């Protein structure tokens, strides 16, 4: 079975490539290496290619003839998307349209899309169900909503089948320490906390302590990267077994506050790194937690690593020993 992965040299994509390879799938990764790393691609072949190059994309897809495609390639920084929205609409939306047009041309009709909880904006109901209105509050979230709408229309028009996976807060690393998060500009709380523990940052900032939560800091649903990668595997198997187009939230269904994560990071690392409390960031909801019952019940997804200290432990091991 041949699976094409776009963005497979990035954080999430590379863990999916790893799990596909371990299961014996024939994997081809496409990545422009703007934020990914060739060393992260542990299985299959890597083709260095930008999705804006439609003619080259056609050549690669025609030659490989995949049975299904998993699409991770995207720009992901919310703050950057506000400052430079056109980059996000070009890379996340227009380039995805390029990819989808090529798949349509060659009759490839099974597609898994890397989406995000940012499509919900500031949801009224928590835990968030997939039926919650899509109301993104930044260009990053909007760029993903546009793709979801295109996929819905393609499914209705052509019999194209897709699964859109809406991620909540992804963290952790390969338990064997081979791959992990390696962004130049870390924005995720756990990664920034661990880099502060290492001394790469002088202090960790807590943005907002006046939220309507038990300790005043925002609450988020943190999912281990291995469990998220496994959600892609069960979604792929669902499509390969004639499953209908659908959307699933990817989270654990409960959350941790910023202060709880910071304390867990200090416990795991054994380092009492400096923390400074400051004002809220615009657009940060108080609580963002997934209702994952659809993923659990419909795809029989069984997470293994629902433990914040284990999540941080694997991320810390990667930070201390990372190879790229």
Residues 212-224: pLDDT tens digits? 999 999 999 999 9
- Is position 140 annotated as part of the catalytic site? yes
Please list, in sequence order, all residues whose beta carbon lies within 8 angstroms of the beta carbon of residue 191, skipping any fewer than 6 positions away: 171, 181, 183, 315, 319
Q: List pLDDT tens digits, range 40-92.
A: 999 999 999 999 999 999 999 999 999 999 999 999 988 899 999 999 999 99
Catalytic residue among 25, 88, 120, 140: 140
Say whether both 67 and 100 belong to one domain. Answer: yes
For residues 125-146, average pLDDT: 96
184 domain residue, yes or no: no
Burial class (CB in 10 A: 0-12, 13-18, 19+), 74: buried
> Angle 139-158/95-105 helices, nearest 10 degrees?
20
User: Residues 90-134: pLDDT tens digits?
Assistant: 999 999 999 999 999 999 999 999 999 999 998 999 999 999 999
Q: Is the same domain home to 236 and 313?
A: no
Asked if 169 contacts 253 with a C-beta cutoff of 8 angstroms, the reply is: no
pLDDT at 39: 97
pLDDT at 79 (0 to 100)? 85
Q: pTM of the prediction?
A: 0.97
In a domain, 86, yes or no: yes
Containing structural domain, residue 196: 189-221+253-321
The domain that holds 46 is classified in CATH as 3.40.50.720
Would you say residue 275 has pLDDT above 90?
Answer: yes
Look at the chain and report how many structural domains it folds into.
2
Shared domain check, 131 and 34: yes
Residues 123 and 200 placed together within one structural domain of the fold: no
Give yes or no: residues 16 and 136 share one domain: yes
Give the Cα separation of 7 and 35 in Å (integer): 9
pLDDT given for residue 243 in this prediction: 97
* Alpha carbon of residue 199 to chain centroid: 27
C-alpha distances out from residue 189 to 133, 162, 212, 235, 261, Å: 26, 31, 20, 28, 8
What value, to the nearest 5°, has the Cα angle with vertex 132 and ends 128 and 133?
140
Residue 282, pLDDT score: 77
Mean pLDDT of 159-176: 97
CA distance 258 to 17: 31
Can you tell me the distance from the alpha carbon of 35 to that of 152, in angstroms, rounded to the nearest whole number? 29
pLDDT for 285-310, tens place per residue? Answer: 899 999 999 999 999 999 999 999 99
What mean pLDDT, rounded, does the chain reach? 96
Residues 211 and 112 in one domain: no
Both 52 and 132 in one domain: the answer is: yes
Q: Give me the mean pLDDT over the 159-177 stretch.
A: 97
What is the percent of the chain with per-residue pLDDT over 90, rounded to a whole number?
A: 95
Query: Does residue 17 lie in a domain region?
Result: yes
Classify residue 179: in a domain, yes or no: no
241 and 309 fall within a common domain: no
């Amino acid at each position: 079975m041949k699976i094409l992965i776009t963005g497979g040299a990035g954080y999430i994509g590379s863990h999916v490539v790893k799990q596909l390879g371990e299961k014996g799938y024939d994997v081809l990764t496409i990545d422009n290496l703007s934020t990914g790393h060739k060393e992260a691609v542990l299985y299959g072949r890597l083709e260095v290619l930008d999705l804006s190059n439609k003619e080259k994309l056609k050549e690669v897809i025609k030659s490989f003839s995949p049975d299904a495609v998993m699409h991770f390639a995207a720009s992901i920084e919310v703050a950057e998307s506000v400052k430079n929205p056109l980059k996000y609409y070009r890379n996340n939306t227009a380039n995805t349209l390029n990819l989808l047009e090529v798949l349509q041309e060659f009759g490839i009709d099974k597609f898994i899309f890397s989406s995000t909880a940012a499509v919900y904006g500031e949801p009224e109901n928590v835990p968030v169900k997939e039926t919650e209105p899509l109301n993104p509050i930044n260009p990053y979230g909007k760029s993903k909503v546009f793709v979801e709408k295109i996929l819905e229309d393609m499914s209705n028009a052509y019999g194209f089948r897709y699964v859109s996976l809406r991620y909540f807060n992804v963290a952790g690393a390969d338990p064997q320490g081979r791959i992990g998060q390696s962004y130049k500009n870390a924005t995720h709380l756990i990664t920034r906390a661990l880099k502060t523990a290492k001394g790469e940052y002088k202090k960790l900032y807590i943005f907002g302590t006046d939220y309507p939560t038990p300790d005043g800091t925002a609450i988020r649903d943190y999912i281990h990267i291995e469990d998220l990668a496994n959600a892609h595997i069960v979604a792929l198997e669902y499509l390969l077994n004639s499953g209908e187009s659908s959307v699933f939230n990817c989270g654990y269904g409960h959350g941790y506050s910023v202060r709880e994560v910071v304390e867990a990071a200090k416990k795991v690392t054994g380092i009492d790194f400096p923390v400074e409390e400051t004002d809220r960031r615009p657009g940060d909801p108080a609580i963002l937690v997934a209702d994952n019952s659809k993923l659990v019940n419909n795809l029989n997804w069984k997470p293994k690593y629902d433990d914040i200290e284990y999540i941080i432990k694997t991320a810390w091991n990667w930070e201390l020993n990372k190879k790229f």
